[in-house]
Structure 1
Amino acid sequence: MAKQGSAFAAFGRPIRLGLVGGSHGFIGPVHRVAATLDRRFVLTAGVLSSDAGRGRAAGIAIGLDPERCYGDVAAMIAGEAGRADAIEAVAIMTPNGHHAAAASAALAAGLDVICDKPLTTALADALALVQAAEASGLVFCTTYNYSAYPMVRQARAMVRNGELGAIRQVHTTYVQGHNATLVEADPAKRGWRFDPALSGESLILGDIGTHAHHLAAFVSGLELEAVLADLHALVPGRQAHDYGAVLQRWSGGVPGTMWVTNAAAGAEHGLSFRIFGELGGLEWHQERPNELRHRRLNGFEQILTRRLHGALLPEAERLVRVEIGHPEGYQEAFANLYRDVAEAVAARRTGLPADPLALEFPTVRDGAAGMAFIAGALESQRTGTWADCRLRV
C-alpha cells in the first residue's frame, strides 16, 4: 500500500504501463506480477513480441485491450500519444539486443523507463542512454532486483553507517548449473542467449556477471575501477562464455574477486557476497535470503534475520512484506523495485518530494556501469592484462 504522505499517495492512481517484450519465457511474468503486486502500475498496452501475431495473442491473454496490442515500439508510441489514458512508462523485457532502441524511443517520447539487465549489449549504447535519460529528467530503473532484498539493503545501510569500518576486500560468486551440458545443441533449447547479436559478447558476464558486479558495488559503496579476467567456454562444443573468474580493483585500491558460471554441474543458483572491512564482515547468500551474517573483529558472529518491528534498519524494514517465519524472495524483491520506481515517477509528475528511501533503486548509470565492467573484462581477456572498467560519462 502507498505510504501516507508519499508522492504516490498524492498522485492518487496507478501509473499506466506499456510492456515491451515478455510474451514467453521466465522474465515476462516476473515483471508483470512485480509491476502490479502493490497496485502502483496498471498494465495498459504492449508490444509483447517481435512477432506481431504472437504479441497480440499474448497481450489479449493477459487482459490488454486488443487495440492496444501493438506490432512494434514505434507503433505503440504513436498509438498511445493521442489518448487521454495513454501509457506513462514502459517496462522493457526483450532480449538484450533490443533494450537500447526501445529505451531510447521511450525516453524520446517522454516516458519513464524500467529496463531489464544488462542495460545494452554495447558500452557505447549504454553511455548514450545515460546521457539521454539524464538530459530528459525522466526516471530510469535498471532491474538489478537483488538490490531490493531486505537483507541486502540492511547490509548496504550497515556499511554506510560504518559498522565494518573502511572496506578492505569484496568478493562475489554466482554459480549456476543449467548450462552444464551442451543445451544449445538442441534448437528448441538454444534460445537467443546463445546469439551474441542478441545476448552480447559474453554470455556469462551479461547474464549473471552484471548482477554480481552490481550487488558488490551496491553494498560496498565502492566503484569498480580495473579487472583482470579469465573467461572460458567450459562445455565442449560451446562458443559462448559459461565461466568467468575476475580479479578486481575497487576504488581506494580495495581488492576483490568474482566467480560466475552457469556450467557448474549440480549447482542451482549460488549468488552471494562477502565483504570485509577493518572492523568485521558481512556475508549473504540469495538461496538463504532472510539471513545476513555479521562477523565482528574480536567478537561473536551474529546472524541477522529479516523481520519487522524495529529489528532492522529502516532501509531494510520498509521492504519486508510478511511477518517473521514466512519466506519471501525473488518476486517480492522485483516488486520492491517497481514500488519504488512508482514513487519516483509520481514525484516527478506531481512535483512533490519522493520518499528518500524509495530512491535506492538501480538507475541507468548502474546499468551502464555493468556494461563498462563487461567491456573492461573483455579487454582484459584479449590482452591478458589489467583493464580499466570505470564508467566515464
Structure 2
Amino acid sequence: MGTNTMGRRIQLGLIGGGPGSVIGETHRIAARLDGHYDIVAAALSSNAERARQAAADLFIAPERAYASWRQMLDTEAARTDRIDAVAIMTPNDSHHAICMLALERGFHVICDKPLANDLAQARDIAARVKATQAEFCVTYCYSGFPMVRQARDMIRAGELGEIRQVHLQYVQSYLAHRDLPAGWRTEAGRAGSSLVLMDIGTHAFHLGAFVTGMDVMRLCADVGSAIPGRTIDDYVSALLRYENGARGSLWVTNAAAGSEHGLSFRVHGDKGGLEWHQEEPNRLIHRRQDAFEQIITRRLGPATSEGAQRSTRIAIGHPEGYLEAFANLYTEFAQRVAARMGGCPVDDSPTLFPGVSDGVKGLAFVAASVKSMATGGWQDVERV
C-alpha cells in the first residue's frame, strides 16, 4: 500500500463516532490497518462524560479527551505536538461547521459522506479547502475496492469502447419496516433534503462517476417513500444522461424488504460491459461483444490493473472486503498528507481517494434530484 514519506505516522484526531456508532469503529479500524496513523485526540460524543470515557477506552490521554469538537480543534491548534488531521463522523448537519473550523485551524480533513447538508454548504467547504491547500477526503469508501479500481482502469484503457450505458443500484432493507428506527437520520432536517439520497444515494452516484470518469449532466428523478403514509424519503429511481450522451439509470432504496446491501453497477460500451456487486466484491464480470464472458478476480500480480494491485494486500485465495476498501482511502490520504508535510511536491491532479469536489458533486446530484421530483421533469446537474 505504499510508504509514508515523512518517516512517521500521521497524528489523527477523531470527531464523533463514539459509543454505539458503527461507522466510528469502521473509521478507526481503517486508520489503523496499514499503520499510518496514531489516534491521539478525540471528541467522541456531544455528552462530555461519555466523550471522556469513550476516549479512555481507546487509550487516549485524558488531557486530549475533549468535551466538544470546538474545544478539540482550538486546543490542538495551540499544541506544539498538535494533530495533523481530523476525521469527522458526526451527523450530516454538523459537517459544515466542523470542516470549516478544522480547515481554518490548519488541519487536513477526512469527512464521512455526505460532505454537507446542502450544495451551498458543500461549495463553501470546497472554497475553504482551495484557500488553505489542505488535503481533504470524503469517505465514499466503495471506490477503495480492488475490483472497482480494476473496472475503472479497464474503462480508461478503452476495453469497453465508447461508454453507452451506466446502471447503478443500491438496495437495502434498513427502513423496510413501517416503524422508523430511532436515531438522528430520521429526525427532521438532520439528514438533509432527502434521507435516501444523502445516506446511500450519493454512494451509488459517486461509484458511477468514479468507475466511468464521466459526470451526469441531466437527470429525471422520482423521489419519495415506498411505504404508504411515510414522509421520509426511502426510495429514488432516476434516469441519467451523461456528458458523452450515454444513458443511465439509478435505483436506490433502503426500504426493499429482504435485501441486504445491494450495491452494484453495470457499465456497457460499444465493445462490451462490466458488472460488479459489492456483496461479492472480489469478482468483476467482463462481458465482451465477440468473446466469452470473463470473471476477473482480485489477486496480487500483473494479471490485474495497477489500480487493483495497489489496493490489494492479501495473496490469492484470501478475500478482502469493506474494511480493507475503507482503509485504502485512509492510507492514500495519509501518503498525500505525509508528502505535503514533508515538503515533497504534491501536484493538483485528482487523487484516487474521493476529494472535496466529489463531495460537492454528490450534493449537486441530490439538489437536482429533489428539484426534478418537485417539477416533474428533467433537471440539469450543476457543474463543479
TM-score w.r.t. the length of structure 1 is: 0.95
2:12 matches 1:17: yes
2:46 matches 1:50: yes
Cα 1:246–1:284 change in 2 (3 A) is same
- Select which of 155, 159, 165 maps to 1:163: 159
- Select which of 300, 303, 317 maps to 2:309: 317
For structure 1, the 5+ residue unaligned runs are: none
Q: Figure out how many residues of one structure are paired with residues of the other and give that number.
A: 383
8 Å contact kept, 2:43–2:67: yes
State the partner residue of 1:91.
87
2:339 matches 1:343: no
State the partner residue of 2:263.
271
- Select which of 16, 35, 39 maps to 2:35: 39
Matches within 5 A, 1:56-67: 56-67=52-63
2:190 matches 1:198: yes
Alignment RMSD, CA only? 1.6
AA aligned to 1:193 is R
CA distance in 2, matches of 1:361, 1:69: 29
Matches within 5 A, 1:96-107: 96-107=92-103
State the partner residue of 1:75.
71
Q: CA deviation at 1:102?
A: 0.7
Any runs of at least 4 consecutive aligned residues in structure 1 with deviations exceeding 2 A, and if so which? Answer: 353-359
Matches within 5 A, 1:205-220: 205-220=197-212
8 Å contact kept, 1:224–1:390: no
2:323 matches 1:327: no
Q: Which moved more, 1:41-50 or 1:75-84?
A: 75-84
Q: CA deviation at 1:238?
A: 2.2
Identify, as 1 or 2, the structure richer in helix: 1
8 Å contact kept, 2:77–2:106: no
TM-score w.r.t. the length of structure 2 is: 0.97
Alignment deviations for residues 266-312 of structure 1 (CA, whole Å, 9 cap, x no partner): 00001000000111111000000000111111111101000012110
8 Å contact kept, 2:191–2:198: yes
State the partner residue of 2:280.
288
AA aligned to 1:126 is A
State the partner residue of 1:359.
351
For structure 2, the 5+ residue unaligned runs are: none
8 Å contact kept, 2:219–2:241: yes
Q: Which moved more, 1:168-177 or 1:225-234?
A: 225-234
State the partner residue of 1:374.
366
Q: CA deviation at 1:49?
A: 1.0
AA aligned to 1:331 is L
Q: CA deviation at 1:322?
A: 0.8
Identity %: 51
Cα 1:354–1:40 change in 2 (3 A) is farther
8 Å contact kept, 2:138–2:358: yes
